Structure 1
Amino acid sequence: MIRFALRLTLSGGKEALARLVIIAAAVAIGVGLLLSTLASINAVDRTNSRQLWLNSGSVTNTATAPVDPMLWRYHRDYFDGREITSVDVAPTGPTAPIPPGLAKLPAPDEYYASPALAKLIRSTPADQLGDRFPRTLAGEIGSAALPSPDSLIAVIGRTPDQLSTLPEVSRVTAIATTFPGISCSDCPGNGVRGDAMTLILSVVAGALIFPVAIFIGTATRLSAARREQRYAAMRLVGATPGQVSLISAVESTLAATVGAVVGFGLFLLLRPVVATVPFTGDRFFAGDLTLTAGQVTAVALGVPVAAAVAARLALRRVTISPLGVARRVTPRPPRAWRLLPLLAGIGELAYFVGRRPETTAGQTQAYLTGFLLVMAGLVTAGPWITMSAARAVALRTGRPATLIAVRRLADDPKAGFRSVSGLVLALFVTSATVGIIGTINVNRGALSGDPGTRSSVVHGGWIEDPPLADALPERLMTEMHAIPGVKSVTVVHANPAGIGADQDPRGQAPALVLCSDLARTAVLGHCPAGAGVAAVPLYRFYDLRSASDAQWPTVPISAEELAHLPVRLTYTTTDGSTAAMEQARTLMTRAYPRYPSRMVLDRGSSLQQQLAGWRQLANVVILTTLPIAGCSLAVSVVAGLSDRKRPFAMLRLTGVPLGMLRRVIGLESALPLLSVAVVATGTGFLAAHLFLKSQMHYDLVSPGAVYFVLVAGGIVASLGIIASTLPLLKRLTGPETARNG
């Protein structure tokens, strides 16, 4: 019977061959994208594992054999908005541990650099970057220690005496090889996750896999109605239900198997391209995009099995009765219970408002379950919403094309919704993602800062850190002012006596600044007329927003007394050029390596830095789900035309204009899309609001015009896809179709 099924599949004429090719091609695209998504998740794990060694100074690691301890100091630097990771090492003996990617430890005043950092140093003037490092480059760091080809990492050799004067120095006897866990959320090598995949990445993975699965399912249903008629004819001549099911399964499985094989090949071709997509803010190594044996097995077996199951379900009317197709009756209308999964997902997200799980793993499980339930609920509720919208339109229209379209949608809303289900999910994911990212951005401040603060350079520790120095050398100040593009250098003094602390609502002692310096640094505010020294809150120097309108209170201290107080930090304003900002940064870093220099942008909180990566993930989701959904829509519309070409041909023979039939097809696809799109968009915003309220205690902020342009563009593109398939109607519904049907 299997041999007969194969012969029937392969010798069914041009139509059967074309159907086989289309199904295989659609499945290949879906499988290729699915494998790329799974490989990207695996690549994140590999990326994380290759930066674990950076935690060596932050977590306890015990060597398996006695070794000489190594002094270890991790610190961050920046260049033109890019983070540079530096590790100072000073071995106390010949058996000190060696980090991965190095053949040996660098000698004092030597350093190893990642290939990207070495290239950047070579292409940049030394007074902007290279002068921050020793003069001798001992070699390049191997990929075993690099999270990404773009990673900027340096391992710098020091002497024990040099490191003994610097803060945050640890004694290391073993290189870290495991995740630090939740208790070390600030560890440098924490990567994208600590002990579990972050919530955002998990939701993104689910958002990517869902449309791909729908695309594969849509492809396997091509020409379902035509195949039903053929199998019903077989039943009439004596074929058993089991034989019909076997033939159907062989045909669908053959196409899906060919598509899966081609999809694996497509994945291999796409891998170099996918590696360049910065899912987490940086590129992947192409070799990191690998699949586990379980994933390969699940996809290789799961796609053909799913195709066979879909074929079996699609033909259940034929197997019950050989007259089932000829006697076609209206399917039972969807019931209101289809709304329950959607309501359950919303309810699950609402339950955790005020009950946020404490652990990352618990939050991932809670919120990911809710989002997946909502997505599944949209797919389940879609036919009911489509039916309700169609019935509502039927009551308010008298046009023939509209009546034909809405009556058919009301009779079989499942078929009508199926064609747009992928786009509905894409709209939900886009709305939820943009809502979450946009709200976080508004509440935590824009990463780019105000124009006034964007060109500033701060050198010194955080608020709780010790002062920078007792006093700044006059030569250093002269060199700073001599840098082309530097406008002002404000010296910010410590306030050990706590002068003016009673004026701060938090009771913190403000920093003390000469009013003459503030006059040259308008972005920081100003003093009252005639004042000599002002008290400025310390946080003001780290803020992304300018305070040019602020007037700071004066303090009863002279300029001479101020000069004898320790220097807390320096605040340098420039013309905004990279050369000026990086020269100022390099000069101050060389003079005071205890603390790095940072732009105001660099001073963004860790969550703000994560936000940049989340934005990138949002872009990946939007740019991936919309094309996949568009492909699903095109395949579904073409499949619907192919399945109903004989009824449409008969209508044309009875005098129905071709234009009316095109309007019917267009309305049948557009009405479910527009009606369910409204529900999907609203649900996306509601899910985003519940997540934000639970996780961060934020209220949803309405997205900007870019979002609405993007959604409108997506809907217009979808309507364009529908319109592009309509010319096929003329060719498919000619007189020969009615004769040969």
Structure 2
Amino acid sequence: MIRVGIHLALRSGREALARLLVTALSVAIGVGLLLSVLAMYHAYRDTIAKPCWQCTATTDANGPLLWSYSEDEFGGRTIDRLDVATLKPDGPVVPGLPAMPSAGQYYASPALAALLRATPADELGDRFPGTMAGTIGAAGLQSPDDLVVVIGHRPAELAASPHTLRTAAIQTAPRGLSTSAFYQFGFALGAVALLVPLLVLIGNATRMAAARREERYAAIRLVGGERSQINVIASVDAVLGALLGALGGIGLYAALRPLLGHIPLLGFRFFDDTITPTVWGFVGTVLAVPAAAAVACLVSLRRVRISPLGVTRRVTPPPPRFWRVLPLLAGLALFTIPLVIAPADGRGTPGFAVLALVLVMTGLMIAGPWLTMMSARLLARWTVGGSSLLAARRLADNPRASFRAVSGLMLAVMVGTTLAALVPAALASQDTTRTSPLRDVLRVGFFVGDQEKPGPGTIPGLPPEKAATLLAKVATIPGAVAVPLYRPARTGQAELPADGPLAGDGGVDVRCSDAHRLPALGACPAGAGAVRMDASAMYTDNLRALNEYLPFIRSDSPVTAEDGSGGQLLSDLLVGVDGPATLERVRTVLSGYRDDIDSFEMPMTFGEVGDVRARLFLEIQRIVTVLAGVTLLVAGCGLAVAISGSLVERKRPFTLMRVTGTGVGTLYRAVLLETVLPLVAATAVAAGVGVTVAYPIARALAPGRHGVVLPHPSYALTVTGGLLVSVAIIAACLPVLGRITATEKARFE
């Protein structure tokens, strides 16, 4: 039977060969995309499993290394900086280095080395003393875009820094990102959202010309063939196409692989050698896809199993009933109403909301055939002409089959729209629609003391002598406006609470002559020379909260005589900049005061601080947009396969219609309508459900801050573009209809 099946698949005419090629092409597209997702997931897993040598924090009084790790900023990107001194020649070495740098040398990552060559020294290079001895290898980097530098020092020089610790071992454990589980869930969600349309595509391919095959298999049954033999023949046909497609999908993945290395999927690129599925990913794909194709083919032959004459007993199935919509409506009610009424309760106990969301997704799939039937009835009622009548009659005759082709798309668009609508809502909850007046203002905090691990809770402030030198250097930078904030003398030596350097002490002192240089700070009371302002909101990473608190200086701000001239400590420094070059020059000057800057901070503008918080949401938005585009493309391919199979199955009635005078244009429009209508209807309904689900989630995350939540325009453009591409793919299949229904080829049997 296997040989018979192979013979029928390869040598039973152009129709069988075309079906085999279409099946193989459809499976190749699905396998290629699925392998690409698995490859990116493997790259992510490999990246987060790398040793976090930057996390080294263990101390050893007899250790061979003096270690001082800190972070810097350049152009909105973080620079990992390690200042190190070797006390013994046999000490450990940072991964990716041939040896620790000697005093006066440093190693830089390839990306940082390229920046150093392209950037003026006063903006970047002057921060790193010495000469470059080489570059850091991939073993010590998370991404080829990482900015990392390891600088060698003399032991006596580094030992004087309060940030330095002595260690005997470099950490080899992974970083342990708090977002690891989130990203793994995101990859799994993306794989599922892509897998469902792919399975639909493969199912449509294996069902292509199913009616004609059923007639052939029924004839074999009539001459004595058994069910088991029919199953073997059908399985061979499906598995052969799927196996060829799986091998073609591996080739497609090989062609796509160079492009994957250029995709900053999570805000950074992966190393090329990590972008590959595991061996089990390849094996599982090659085995699972043909198996799924065989199962889909066997399911499609259920009428042949009834009896040899089962194929001829074709009746219109009963129409879907309204009850199919009830699970969807119940799920939406159970999900939205509690979150809208009590958002905080839903945020604290999300278990019930998760169950309701599962009911929504399940109800959407159950309601699909009924929604397809209703759209067909609306098409028949509100349009005129033979094309719309034919399309509506076809959809109403079997709405389940029409919905099957877009079922995977419906679920993917619903999930994608929910996430795409939540991202702007999350950004809106932390930022305002207007630009913050302090967005381009850099803030840096200082501390005093030689504690082993300075940080929150230490005494903030820079001594007057150092402060005067720093202010003089900043004043020489064109475009930089410095506003010093001084520590009140009465609490200048008191230990502060750990929840913020200004908590509970009444604020900081600022000269009015300095404050007016940054109007966003506010205006001093008339006649005041200096005021004490409560600037605790400066330490938030939420620009919305910062903007709502401005101005810091108000009419009721207490006037003070402490204006810094009495030897007060410099607590913080605000520097307004007129452009990126000025900002980097200020950071270069501040790099000379690393020992005086809080190690838990980086000199960043308020806008950069807000951007760091928003980066995760923007990454999600990018992933959702890409996933939506790919899903729609796959759905378009699935519909193209479905329409090709439908044309082959209806060759005879369409030919008879041509003979009786029906124009080919009428048939084109009818086929296009019956294919595009479920696609557009499914997308619209799924998008509406997604927005409905997103609104109560946004309310739960930030009560009272959201009205209607809508996806980012880029997502809407991607979905619209995907629909247009899908329609173009479907339209490309229509010329086949004209050729196979030509009147000169009409046969009467």
TM-score by length of 1: 0.86
User: CA deviation digits over 1:247-269, x for unaligned, max 9?
Assistant: 11111110100010111122122
- Alignment partner for residue 739 of structure 1, among 738, 741, 747? 747
Deviates more, 1:612-621 or 1:124-133: 612-621
What corresponds to 1:684 in structure 2? 690
What corresponds to 1:103 in structure 2? 98
Q: Does structure 2 conserve the Cα–Cα contact (< 8 Å) formed by 1:382 and 1:421?
A: yes
Match of 1:601, SS state, is helix
Q: Does structure 1 conserve the Cα–Cα contact (< 8 Å) formed by 2:507 and 2:535?
A: yes
Superposition pairs of residues 78-477 of structure 1, within 5 angstroms: 78-159=73-154, 161-164=156-159, 166=161, 169-179=164-174, 189-191=175-177, 193-194=179-180, 197-334=183-320, 377-391=363-377, 393-394=379-380, 399-445=385-431, 450=435, 452-460=437-445, 466-471=459-464, 472-477=466-471
- Alignment partner for residue 565 of structure 1, among 568, 583, 600? 568
User: CA deviation digits over 1:409-447, x for unaligned, max 9?
Assistant: 12211221133334434432331121121111101226x
Deviation at 1:508, TM superposition (A): 5.8
What corresponds to 1:182 in structure 2? none
What corresponds to 1:587 in structure 2? 589
Return the alpha-carbon distance in structure 1 between the equivalents of residues 330 and 103 of structure 2. 62
What corresponds to 2:559 in structure 1? 556
Please tell me the residue identity of whatever aligns with 2:75: D
Please tell me the residue identity of whatever aligns with 1:385: L
Return the alpha-carbon distance in structure 2 between the equivalents of residues 123 and 369 of structure 1. 54
User: CA deviation digits over 1:112-156, x for unaligned, max 9?
Assistant: 211111121122111101111121223211111211111111223
Deviation at 1:170, TM superposition (A): 4.7
Q: Does structure 2 conserve the Cα–Cα contact (< 8 Å) formed by 1:203 and 1:368?
A: no
Return the alpha-carbon distance in structure 1 between the equivalents of residues 172 and 325 of structure 2. 48
What corresponds to 2:449 in structure 1? none
Stretches of structure 1 lacking an aligned partner (at least 5 in a row) = 180-188
Match of 1:492, SS state, is strand
Please tell me the residue identity of whatever aligns with 1:207: A
Return the alpha-carbon distance in structure 1 between the equivalents of residues 520 and 372 of structure 2. 56
Stretches of structure 2 lacking an aligned partner (at least 5 in a row) = 447-454, 497-501
Please tell me the residue identity of whatever aligns with 1:386: T
Match of 2:282, SS state, is helix
- Alignment partner for residue 615 of structure 2, among 590, 606, 609? 609
Match of 2:395, SS state, is helix
CA separation of 1:111 and 1:355: change in aligned 2, threshold 3 A: farther
What corresponds to 2:472 in structure 1? 478
Return the alpha-carbon distance in structure 1 between the equivalents of residues 41 and 434 of structure 2. 32
Match of 1:128, SS state, is coil
- Alignment partner for residue 645 of structure 1, among 630, 647, 651? 651
Return the alpha-carbon distance in structure 2 between the equivalents of residues 5 and 415 of structure 1. 27
Q: Does structure 1 conserve the Cα–Cα contact (< 8 Å) formed by 2:59 and 2:165?
A: no
- Alignment partner for residue 516 of structure 1, among 513, 525, 550? 513
Return the alpha-carbon distance in structure 2 between the equivalents of residues 67 and 498 of structure 1. 38
CA separation of 1:616 and 1:108: change in aligned 2, threshold 3 A: farther
Return the alpha-carbon distance in structure 2 between the equivalents of residues 637 and 670 of structure 1. 10
What corresponds to 2:21 in structure 1? 21
What corresponds to 2:499 in structure 1? none
Please tell me the residue identity of whatever aligns with 2:114: K
Return the alpha-carbon distance in structure 2 between the equivalents of residues 600 and 347 of structure 1. 41
Please tell me the residue identity of whatever aligns with 2:688: G
User: CA deviation digits over 1:329-382, x for unaligned, max 9?
Assistant: 113444567558757976897799767899xxx99x999998777556544432
Deviation at 1:689, TM superposition (A): 3.7
Match of 2:106, SS state, is strand
Deviates more, 1:133-142 or 1:653-662: 653-662
Return the alpha-carbon distance in structure 2 between the equivalents of residues 600 and 428 of structure 1. 35
User: CA deviation digits over 1:608-638, x for unaligned, max 9?
Assistant: 2322332332333233323223322333233
Q: Does structure 1 conserve the Cα–Cα contact (< 8 Å) formed by 2:84 and 2:152?
A: yes
Match of 1:154, SS state, is strand
Match of 2:146, SS state, is coil
Q: Does structure 1 conserve the Cα–Cα contact (< 8 Å) formed by 2:210 and 2:649?
A: yes
Deviation at 1:99, TM superposition (A): 2.3
Match of 2:312, SS state, is coil
Match of 1:647, SS state, is helix
Please tell me the residue identity of whatever aligns with 1:470: P
Q: Does structure 2 conserve the Cα–Cα contact (< 8 Å) formed by 1:511 and 1:535?
A: yes
Q: Does structure 2 conserve the Cα–Cα contact (< 8 Å) formed by 1:192 and 1:198?
A: no
Q: Does structure 2 conserve the Cα–Cα contact (< 8 Å) formed by 1:532 and 1:559?
A: no
Deviation at 1:704, TM superposition (A): 5.2
Deviates more, 1:247-256 or 1:336-345: 336-345
Within the alignment, does 1:495 sit opposite 2:488 as a pair? yes
Deviation at 1:465, TM superposition (A): 5.9
User: CA deviation digits over 1:139-187, x for unaligned, max 9?
Assistant: 21111121111111122334555455545555543333334xxxxxxxx
Match of 1:276, SS state, is coil
Q: Does structure 2 conserve the Cα–Cα contact (< 8 Å) formed by 1:23 and 1:255?
A: yes
Return the alpha-carbon distance in structure 2 between the equivalents of residues 465 and 721 of structure 1. 65
Q: Does structure 2 conserve the Cα–Cα contact (< 8 Å) formed by 1:419 and 1:637?
A: no
Q: Does structure 2 conserve the Cα–Cα contact (< 8 Å) formed by 1:41 and 1:205?
A: no
Please tell me the residue identity of whatever aligns with 1:735: T
Return the alpha-carbon distance in structure 2 between the equivalents of residues 673 and 721 of structure 1. 13
User: CA deviation digits over 1:62-120, x for unaligned, max 9?
Assistant: 9xxx9835443332211111111122334454443322112222233432211111121
User: CA deviation digits over 1:471-516, x for unaligned, max 9?
Assistant: 2454443332222332x111111235479x9xxx985632221111
CA separation of 1:481 and 1:506: change in aligned 2, threshold 3 A: closer
User: CA deviation digits over 1:664-723, x for unaligned, max 9?
Assistant: 222212332333323211221233345545667675733455554444444444444444
Alpha-carbon RMSD across the aligned residues, in angstroms, is 3.6
Q: Does structure 2 conserve the Cα–Cα contact (< 8 Å) formed by 1:422 and 1:632?
A: no
Please tell me the residue identity of whatever aligns with 1:538: A
Q: Does structure 1 conserve the Cα–Cα contact (< 8 Å) formed by 2:71 and 2:81?
A: yes
TM-score by length of 2: 0.86
What corresponds to 2:451 in structure 1? none
Deviates more, 1:564-573 or 1:536-545: 536-545
Please tell me the residue identity of whatever aligns with 1:489: A
- Alignment partner for residue 604 of structure 2, among 589, 598, 619? 598
Return the alpha-carbon distance in structure 2 between the equivalents of residues 130 and 372 of structure 1. 54
- Alignment partner for residue 661 of structure 2, among 638, 655, 658? 655
Please tell me the residue identity of whatever aligns with 2:371: I
Aligned length: 717
Deviation at 1:39, TM superposition (A): 1.2
Please tell me the residue identity of whatever aligns with 1:415: A
Deviates more, 1:141-150 or 1:697-706: 697-706
Q: Does structure 2 conserve the Cα–Cα contact (< 8 Å) formed by 1:419 and 1:669?
A: no
CA separation of 1:722 and 1:506: change in aligned 2, threshold 3 A: farther
